[in-house]
Amino acid sequence: MPDLLIELFSEEIPARMQTRAAQDLQKLVTNGLVEAGLTYASAAAFSTPRRLTLTVEGMLDASPAVVEERKGPKADAPQKAIDGFLRGAGVSRDDLEERDTPKGKILFAKINKPGRPASEIIAEVLEQTIRSFPWPKSMRWGSGSLKWVRPLHSILCILSAEDGAQVVPMNVDGITSGDITYGHRFLAPDAIKVNNFEDYEAKLTRANVVLRADARAETIWNDATNVAFASGMEVVEDAGLLAEVAGLVEWPVVLMGNIAEDFLGLPPEVLQTSMKEHQKFFSVRNPKTGRIERFITVANRTTTDEGATILAGNEKVLSARLADAKFFWENDLRVATSEDGMATWVKALENVTFHNKLGTQAELIERMAELAGELAPMVGAKKEEAMEAARVAKADLSSEMVYEFPELQGLMGSYYAKAAGMSDAVAAAAQEHYAPLGPSDDVPTAPVSVAVALAEKIDKLTGFWAIDEKPTGSKDPFALRRAALGVIRIFVENDVRISLMPFLYRIGEIQFLSDFVEHVDITTSVAKEAVFEAIMSGERIPKLKGKDADARFEFLTEWIEDRIGVESPFGDDNPNLVVDEQGERLDYDQAAHNLLSFLHDRLKVYLKDQGIRHDIIDACIAMPQNDDLTLLVKRARALSETLKTDDGENLIQGFKRANNILTQAEEADGVEYSYGADVKFAETDEERALFKALDAAEAIITPAMEKQDFTTAMSAMASLRGPIDAFFEAVQVNSENPTVRRNRLNLLSRIRATCTSVADLTKVDG
Which residues of the chain form contacts with another protein (CB under 8 A)? 11-12, 14-16, 49, 137-143, 149-151, 153, 186, 248-249, 279-281, 297, 299-301, 303-305, 309-314, 316-320, 323-324, 327, 348, 351-353, 355-356, 360
Contact between 453 and 393 under an 8 Å Cβ cutoff? The reply is no
Find all residues with CB under 8 Å of 652, minimum gap 6, and list them.
Answer: 643, 761, 764, 766
CB 59 within 8 A of CB 2: yes
Question: What CA–CA distance (Å, rounded) separates 501 from 594?
Answer: 11
- Distance, in Å, from the CA atom of 712 to the CA atom of 702, rounded to the nearest integer, reads 10
Question: CA 172, CA 147: separation in Å to the nearest integer?
Answer: 11
Q: What is the DSSP string of 154-197?
A: EEEEEEEETTEEEE---EETTEEEESEEE--TTT--SEEE-SSH
Q: How far is residue 549's CA from residue 576's CA, in Å, rounded to a whole number?
A: 7
Segment (H or E) for 192: strand 191-193
Q: List Cβ neighbours of 137 (8 Å cut-off, separation of 6 or more).
A: 149
Pairing of strands 66-74, 353-355: unpaired
Render 435-495 in DSSP notation, one character per residue. Answer: ---STTSPPP-SHHHHHHHHHHHHHHHHHHHHTT---BTTB-TT-HHHHHHHHHHHHHHHT
Distance CA 615, CA 597 (A): 15
CA end-to-end span of the chain, whole Å?
Answer: 57
CB 274 within 8 A of CB 321: yes
Q: Which helix (H) or strand (E) holds 298?
A: strand 292-299
Cβ atoms of residues 376 and 382 within 8 Å: yes
CA distances from 398 to 331, 357, 394, 548, 603 (A): 12, 21, 8, 39, 35
Whole-number Å distance between alpha carbons of 630 and 632:
5
Please give the Cα distance from 375 to 497 (Å, whole number): 11
Cβ 473 to another protein, closest distance in Å? 24
Cβ–Cβ < 8 Å for 281, 317: no
What is the rounded distance in angstroms from the CA atom of residue 414 to the CA atom of residue 48?
41
Backbone angles phi, psi at 54, to 5 degrees: -135, 130
Closest CA to 461 of 624, 602, 588: 602
